[in-house]
Structure 1
Amino acid sequence: MELEHFIGRQRERLPGEWLQPCSERLDTAGSYTAVMSTASKESLESSLRQLKCHFTWNLIAEDESLDEFEDRVFNKDEFQNSEFKATMCNILAYVKHCRGLNEAALQCLGEAEDFIQQQHPDRVEIRSLVTWGNYAWVYYHMGQFSKAQAYLDKVKQVCKKFSSPYRIENPALDCEEGWARLKCTKNQNERVKVCFQKALEKDPKNPEFTSGWAIANYRLDDWPAKNDYIDSLKQAINLSPENTYVKVLLALKLDEVHKTQAKALVEEALKKNPSAMDTLLSAARFYYKVYDVDRAIQLLRKALESLPNNAYVHYHIGCCYRSKVHQMLNRREMAFNGDRKKLQELIQLALNHLQKAEEMKEMLEHSCSFLADLYTIAKQYEEADHYFQKELSKDLPPGPKQLLHLRYGNFQFFQMKREDKAIYHFMEGVKIKRKTKPKEKMREKLRRIALRRLHEDESDSEALHILAFLQEDENGQQADKDSERAGRGGACL
């Protein structure tokens, strides 16, 4: 993991050496123990809840496990690994605490302090408030209440300068919360937007705040006008020309008309910062988007050197090779020009990476379906059926579920010659109340099967059942349309 790599650089220190700076600061205030002897645990916790830090921001969704949270934050999403190291150290400390690894959490917070000293020497106190708040919470959960109170008092000493006990309104804190929510949360888009808006209102030309606003604009899917986030990305580049990640994000948003400009931005970013994971991964995504799969694979393989155990990197490499397989299959001359060996090599490369991704992290979206597709092409039908069944066992959204029923139905019909199973899966896909192209394809396949069977036997009960099913589905769709029209009409009254 990239984040673990830069945190681990200093972990060879002895534990005493690692925590010495913190211990020295704590020893300067001998009254902390006395304060804690009279203060109750409840009042301490009440004060802790007023802090602005990762422990009070509700970063993990209620329906999300800690495994899912950690995987999404550190593996699935791209990193902001070059400029926001203190932020990432704080996030890692929070995850370590949630895992019950409080000593490791303290080490991460010590690393965050080091980065703050390096990157913000003129604003150490303000920039350290979140880290100190996290320290207080970790020590509180460790039962070391005097140390928790010590860090709480450090926060209070800064905040009292602004006539506030434990929290202040400051753009740096708004920005820190924005980064944390942008990186950690799934469904808090509006809150992320508010954080960066507040920071920019107080300091509209700040490069870091502008970059955060631009990345938020890029990632949030509820923005009405495309030009809004293109303009914000351009502004971020003007203020932060060294931010290569934002350059690639802009390239990803430029349309076909500006393809040459987009490629120039990506190559400039890669030349400037060739080893940054966020830049590499987003650049690979760009080249996949513009159908330069070989360049995407080259970049992903470079990322794999630093992230050999990242399931998502393996997954994306496998997807690239699968794309090359389908490109070859779509060339009619492939069967006649000796490319069969090349095709088999590509299939094996795709299988290797997708299988490795699946082994590292089960339930990756589409991974089993893609493996089944590749095994079908390779005519290894037993393996293909295994992965189809594995994908069917997943709790998929309606759209992907429909597409899976179409693919598995086709597999049963064409490869396994099991028309009964094909009919079953086509019908299961049609039952899903979602009007999509896969649904229409399944309806048409069922209609053709039924008509063929009736041509062979006018009393075929299965064929009559299929036609009755299709008619019922059509009536249901019409009823839904009528209800929708009535609803719209009522709303206008």
Structure 2
Amino acid sequence: MTTMSLTEATLLQAELHKLECHFTWKLKKEELDLTDLLNRLEQHADFNLGEKAGLAQTYNSLGYVKHLLGSSQDALGYLQKCVELTKESRLDDCDKWLIVPYGNLAWLQYQLKCFSELLGEKAWAYFKFSRKYYNQAKECFEKVLELEHMNAEWNCGYAFVLHRTETQCPSVRTINQLRQAIDTNPDNDELKALLAVRLGEA
């Protein structure tokens, strides 16, 4: 089972191209002196430690430059710092200042092929919006668990959706998934209660 179909990937990329951010502004690697640009941005960051809004913008640019240089984890760190500083410094209108950083983060996650978060969020949305979408939620949770088998959140969601959809007694798959979810969520009393109900039915 693939993590994302060709159609889904194409649609996602089309949506990403609509974002206003460094990744869509045609800032081409071959037209930039990346070493000089990196030095200037790092110097600017050093001189703006007391001014959070300006530092946030610098970190946003640094994130993109680090991506161009092949340092994706550094890029992610800078973009996350940018978001944090923007929230701290733009208390009254931070949403509009977060549009570009969030766009950069979305593109970076796409470049890194971090589809598990997308699939997980999609699964939870299907699960929470209507019982009509339970089967879609189940499929998404199954896909995301192929990527992150021991993720606590995805195991929990999959257990919930199985409990809602597999009503025959006993449902071995539901019981096994509830146990798996409890292993990754040992403090979740709701999961324990659901397991007790299922075991009582068996």
Superposition TM-score tier, normalisation by shorter sequence: 0.3 to 0.5
Q: Structure with the greater relative contact order (CA < 8 A, sep ≥ 6): 1 or 2?
A: 2
Q: State the TM-score, normalizing by the size of structure 1.
A: 0.21
The structure with more radius of gyration: 1
